[in-house]
């Protein structure tokens, strides 16, 4: 299962860095052809260079889907490549739809692409989530997105929506133990602290550090305790001139936070 594999990978690497594979086409280094072959070489090289520091990889489906059938085929290749080197894969697809459609999305993510986990937008309720859990894989429910404008939605209401998502995660965890986590952005430390108090047992995927400016130090101070989490860094590693050194630096930074 994903959780056991992710924990074993973290122990093997000595850190909990998740490297996001978000290959923005306009940011590929000039030495790589922008066609699908160049993108394949770029991603293969990135995986090879960051492997000593990365516990997980998170390809963003959108940057593959926009390239059509070749891109989707490449996404499958990249997931297989990550598995070959012994790391689990989180498919960042942020799916969320009624049950019949969710079943199709789940088959695509897990049966076709063979991802180990997926990100889900659960605003249509459990119907949007359970089909993924029924296939025995792991889901990260989007609770606290890292982008600024999300505040108008996820912080709305009493209790706020992100807390409702946290409670949904706890309820699903009872029925699907070891298969549920939350997305909690580092850009919202105060809200993350509330989420931590509400659902301390659910592991997190933490976006928002690096290019988005989230601070692990502020997150640590707000939470006031350890929390099992994988911290995702995408552009700050992917497009660094020295991705291996950048990944090692981020692994150390995350280690300081995790051991605070």
* DSSP result, 160-208: THHHHHHHHHHHHHHHSTT-EEEEE-TT-HHHHHHHHHH-TTS-EEE--
CB atoms within 10 A of CB 100: 9
Helix, strand, coil percent values for the chain (each to nearest 5)? 50, 15, 30
Answer yes or no: 94 catalytic. Answer: yes
Q: What residues have CB less than 8 Å from 44, skipping those under 6 apart?
A: 81
Residues 182, 140 contacting (CB under 8 angstroms): yes
Q: What does the pLDDT read at residue 256?
A: 78
Residue 34 or residue 138, greater confidence: 138
Lowest mean pLDDT among 24-33, 99-108, 205-214: 205-214
Within 13 Å and on the Cβ side, how many CA atoms surround 219?
Answer: 29
Please state the domain extents for the chain: 2-258
Q: Structurally, what CATH architecture does the domain formed by 2-258 represent? A: Alpha-Beta Barrel (3.20)
pLDDT band at 74 (very low <50, low <70, confident <90, very high): very high
Catalytic residue among 48, 49, 94, 251: 94
């Amino acid at each position: 299962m994903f959780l056991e594999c992710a924990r074993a990978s973290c122990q093997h690497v000595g850190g909990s860095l998740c490297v996001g594979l978000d290959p923005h086409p306009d940011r590929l280094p000039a030495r790589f052809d922008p066609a699908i072959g160049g993108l394949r070489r770029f991603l293969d090289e990135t995986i090879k260079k960051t492997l000593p520091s990365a516990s997980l990889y998170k390809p963003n489906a959108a940057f593959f889907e926009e390239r059509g059938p070749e891109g989707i085929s490449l996404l499958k290749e990249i997931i297989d490549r990550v598995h070959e080197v012994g790391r689990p894969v989180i498919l960042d697809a942020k799916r969320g739809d009624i049950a019949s459609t969710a079943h199709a999305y789940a088959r695509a993510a897990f049966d076709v692409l063979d991802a180990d986990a997926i990100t889900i937008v659960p605003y249509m309720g459990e119907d949007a989530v359970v089909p993924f859990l029924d296939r025995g894989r792991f889901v990260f429910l989007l609770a606290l997105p890292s982008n600024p404008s999300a505040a108008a939605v996820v912080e709305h209401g009493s209790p706020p929506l992100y807390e409702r998502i946290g409670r949904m995660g706890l309820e699903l965890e009872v029925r699907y133990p070891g298969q549920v986590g939350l997305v909690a952005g580092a850009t919202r430390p105060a809200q993350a602290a509330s989420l931590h108090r509400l659902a301390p047992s659910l592991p997190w995927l933490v976006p928002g550090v690096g290019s988005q400016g989230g601070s692990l130090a502020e997150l640590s101070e707000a939470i006031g305790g350890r929390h099992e989490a994988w911290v995702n860094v995408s552009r700050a590693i992917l497009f660094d001139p020295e991705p291996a050194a950048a990944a090692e630096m981020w692994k150390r930074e995350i280690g300081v936070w995790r051991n605070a």
